[in-house]
Structure 1
Amino acid sequence: MQRIANLLAIKDNKVLLLQKPRRGWFVAPGGKMESGESIYEAAIREFQEETNVIPHDIHLKGVFTMVIKSGDRVVDEWMLYTFVAKGVEGTPFEETREGKLAWHTIESLKTLPMAQGDRTNLVFASTKQGIQYGTFEYTQDFELISETIQMSIEQ
């Protein structure tokens, strides 16, 4: 099972998002974990490689199982670990081979084009306390079939 770590940077009530060229969807910068790497290390490494920015005050915000189905058959499955950074240092790239980077208002997470599971994940990560967990099931065309969400909030 593939493991993916991403990181949503928040600064001045805005989030740094990557617009992927294939679908034009917006995502938090991230990517595949390397062998022996912790989820924390992977999130920071992938974020820095894709943005040219150093994240600060980093916290885990979500752990998700992503399932791609064809009918009743599972054709792909991976784990996604989402972190949030409450500040950054540096100037982000404008564009890389991964896509275009830009700051967007937190409110725009509700309307920008993206996978529905990413929307659920990133809105929570940027606006709520605690950690969110869940499973998202998609068709092979990334249409959401179902989502199951849980969360924990430290008192």
Structure 2
Amino acid sequence: MQKIANLLVVKDGQVLLLKKPRRGWYVAPGGKIDEGESVYEAATREFIEETGAKPIHPHLKGVYTMMMMDDDGKQLQNEWLLFTFIARDYSGDLLETTTEGELEWHPIESLHTLPMAEGDRSNLLFAVHQAGMQYGTFYYTEQFRLLQESLQQSTEGE
């Protein structure tokens, strides 16, 4: 199972996204969690590597299982565990382009329409608009067509 962490910065009504060159899809900066690394450390490290800036006070907003199925949706091909973090500010100067893609600021509401994996859309919209934590499982084909999703959420005290 691949473990990954991403981190979305929301500032002044905008979100910082990375446009990936292969599909032209948008993602929150992030990547693989190294052996022995905490999810917090991984999200922060990946954000710094991909943006050149340091997130201020990031916190966990969601934990998701991504099930990658064959094109028929019957055979499991791969499984990822994703930890999504959010921060409301950053320090330092942002890079314009990285080896991972182009960094761009977009209005929060563009998360509804920008090209991205549908599971990413669900978890990023939750991160910016909802209190608490979200958990879920997304089933995709190898071409990232969403087959099925199951989402739950909680807030402290429930």
Deviation at 1:91, TM superposition (A): 2.0
Matched residue of 1:3: which SS? Answer: strand
Matched residue of 1:65: which SS? Answer: strand
Q: Which segment is superposed worse, 84-93 or 134-143?
A: 84-93
* 1:117 corresponds to: 119
* 1:104 corresponds to: 106
Matched residue of 2:152: which SS? Answer: strand
Please show how residues 36-75 of structure 1 align to structure 2 within 5 Å. Answer: 36-70=36-70, 71=72, 72-75=74-77
Matched residue of 1:135: which SS? Answer: strand
TM-score by length of 1: 0.98
Runs of 5+ in structure 1 lacking a partner?
Answer: none
* 2:29 corresponds to: 29
Counterpart of 2:68 in structure 1: which amino acid?
I
CA RMSD of aligned residues (A): 0.7
* 2:149 corresponds to: 147
Deviation at 1:86, TM superposition (A): 1.2
User: Segments of 4+ in structure 1 off by > 2 A?
Assistant: none
Q: Percent identity?
A: 58
TM-score by length of 2: 0.96
Aligned residue pairs: how many? Answer: 155
Counterpart of 1:61 in structure 2: which amino acid?
K
Matched residue of 1:124: which SS? Answer: helix
